[in-house]
Amino acid sequence: MPRRSLSAVLALTLAGTGCAAQARSADSPTLKIGYFQGAVAGPEAVVAADPGLSSHVKAKIELRPIDSGVAGMAQLRAGAFPVVSGVGNPPFVGAFSSGTDVEVVFAESIDESGLVVSDAIRSNADLRKVGVLVGSTLDFQLRGWLKSQGLTGRVQIASFASEAAEAAAWKAHKIDAVYISQSFLIELKKHGGRVLTTAADIARLGYAAVNLLAVSRTYAAKNRDLVQQLVCQVSQAQTLVHGDQAAKYVRPAARFLGVRPDDAVEATKSYPYIPAAEETGWLQGTDGRAASGRLAANFQRTGEFLVTQGRAKAVPSIAQIAAHIDPGFWAKAQAGGCS
């Protein structure tokens, strides 16, 4: 990805609130991004922590922690920030189905979650009560997996407002299993947890968990150059954290994650970020239309899930779905539009 040299080195500062800001000229715009803390270094944290990457985003970056995709979408709608990184497909589809004017500009990763159980759970038949983050991509995957295993109605689902709360409930033996993200898997394994099935296993059953870079459509329309810069650097960050110098980029980002740098390096090195070669296929089909891409098909299945949960009145049409997927930023990046 070509880059333009700068005449000065830009420093990053960390505010007391836990937000990151680029030290730029006083008249630079501010770009607030909702993001998830945890062991995995998200691309937004990597960009914010690295002067070389952040210098290509012509704004002061501020990272705002969120507890869930549902909360992130609600905060975006309320104007707290115009961008959310790492939001899953159910919160995203639920948001635009209920009127939030938001679009996907980049598909970041396939979730690396797992169903964690104790040694007392020997098989699927032993499951009684499973915890999950309510309304999340994990919720979507767990219910899909239970359906595929003939366990719908036989296993109770305990809904939690945060993954930290469900992890604590599992440790306290209040639930016998928890379907939880990679950020917490490492910790729970240290407490004797065993992974019964993974997000990759469930994705093969047709219930993919996709984490997205979502932007307010109004903001994207008014700030296309800035959003383009962000897409370019997020893509670059995802490539770098799986490269030979991964630790160089992951360790500084740990300051925003709330974990030790070594833990961030370990959790991030195998995290399934979508390879650049596969990105186009998620955003659009071979005919160049968002309506025929993998995301559109995934969002339609997600809409069906939301309807069954009573969180959407109707499954959005493919045309409605496509209106909330913008492949243009990635297409421009591929055509040399990154600087």
Q: How many CA atoms lie within 13 A of 50 on its CB side?
A: 25
Point out which residues pair with 110 in neighbouring strands: 210
Could you tell me the two tokens for 109?
């990763």
What pTM was estimated for this model as a whole?
A: 0.80
Q: For 164-204, how does the pLDDT look when each residue is reduced to its tens digit (9 = 90+)?
A: 999 999 999 999 999 998 778 888 998 999 999 999 899 88
What pLDDT is attached to residue 26? Answer: 56
Q: For 112-153, how does the pLDDT look when each residue is reduced to its tens digit (9 = 90+)?
A: 889 999 888 989 999 999 999 988 888 999 999 999 999 999
**Taking CA 259 as the corner, what is the angle to CA 69 and CA 244, rounded to the nearest 5 degrees?**
95
- pLDDT above 90 covers a percentage of the chain that reads 78
Confidence of residue 16 (pLDDT cuts 50, 70, 90): very low
What pLDDT is attached to residue 204? Answer: 83
- Give CA–CA dist 169/221, Å, rounded: 43
The continuous run of DSSP H or E covering 304 comes out as helix 294-308
Q: Is the Cβ–Cβ distance between 62 and 31 less than 8 Å?
A: yes
Q: Is the Cβ–Cβ distance between 307 and 315 less than 8 Å?
A: yes
Q: Is the pLDDT of residue 10 over 50?
A: no
- Give CA–CA dist 215/3, Å, rounded: 24
- Give CA–CA dist 149/305, Å, rounded: 16
What pLDDT is attached to residue 79? Answer: 97
As a whole number, mean pLDDT of residues 256-260 equals 95
Query: What 3-state class would DSSP assign to 336?
Result: coil
- Give CA–CA dist 239/243, Å, rounded: 6
Q: Is the pLDDT of residue 20 over 80?
A: no
What pLDDT is attached to residue 3? Answer: 31
Q: Is the Cβ–Cβ distance between 12 and 51 less than 8 Å?
A: yes
Q: For 267-323, how does the pLDDT look when each residue is reduced to its tens digit (9 = 90+)?
A: 999 899 999 999 999 999 999 999 999 999 999 989 999 998 888 899 999 999 999
- Give CA–CA dist 130/38, Å, rounded: 21
